[in-house]
Amino acid sequence: MTIEKILDGTRLTVAIAGRLDTTTAPQLEAELKQSYDGTEKLVLDFAALEYLSSAGLRVLLAAQKVMNKQGEMVIRNVNETINEIFEVTGFVDILTIE
């Protein structure tokens, strides 16, 4: 997994590529923790995300909770396979997917 961050004022875009799974989820979690300060809009770009597991979902859920308090979070460019994961787990109702 690779993580790329672009900061534009209070808007942070995080592009995630590769696998977001049991092994890599903690990396994303740590990366996000350092970035919340001053962020009002968090955009997660999943265009290059190939695989998502429940471990990744948990990190997304935690991020959503943080952002609910200080602004908003949206997920972009979700492919069909990953969208299926959001649907069967009910995460479509919790996350904002554009």
Partner 1 sequence: MIKISHLKKEYPSATPLRDVNVEIHKGDVISIIGPSGTGKSTLIRCINMLETPTAGEIWVDGECITDKKCNINKIRQKMGMVFQSFNLFNHMNVIENIMAAPVDLLGKSKQEAYDKGIELLRTVGLADKAFNYPDVLSGGQKQRVAIARTLAMEPEIILLDEPTSALDPTMVGEVQAVIKDLAKKGLTLMIVTHEMRFAREIANRVFYMDDGGVYEDGTPEQIFDNPQRERTIRFIKHLKVFEKLITSKDFDFIGFNTELEEFGRRNQVPQKTIYRGGSVFEELVMQCLLPNLEKEFHLNIAFEYAQGTETLSMSLKYDGAHFDVRNTPNIVSLAIAENASESIEYTEMDADGFTNLVSVKIK
Applying the rule CB under 8 A, the residues between 58 and 87 that interact with partner 1 are: 58, 81, 84-85
* Between 55 and 71, CB nearer to partner 1: 55
Residues 6+ apart with CB under 8 A from 29: 59, 62
**Closest Cα to residue 12, out of 36, 33, 28, 31?**
36
Q: Are 35 and 65 in contact (CB under 8 A)?
A: no
Question: Whole-number minimum distance, CB 21 to partner 1, in Å?
Answer: 6
Binding mask 23-52 for partner 1 (x = CB under 8 A): x---------------------------x-
57 makes contact with partner 1 (CB under 8 A): yes
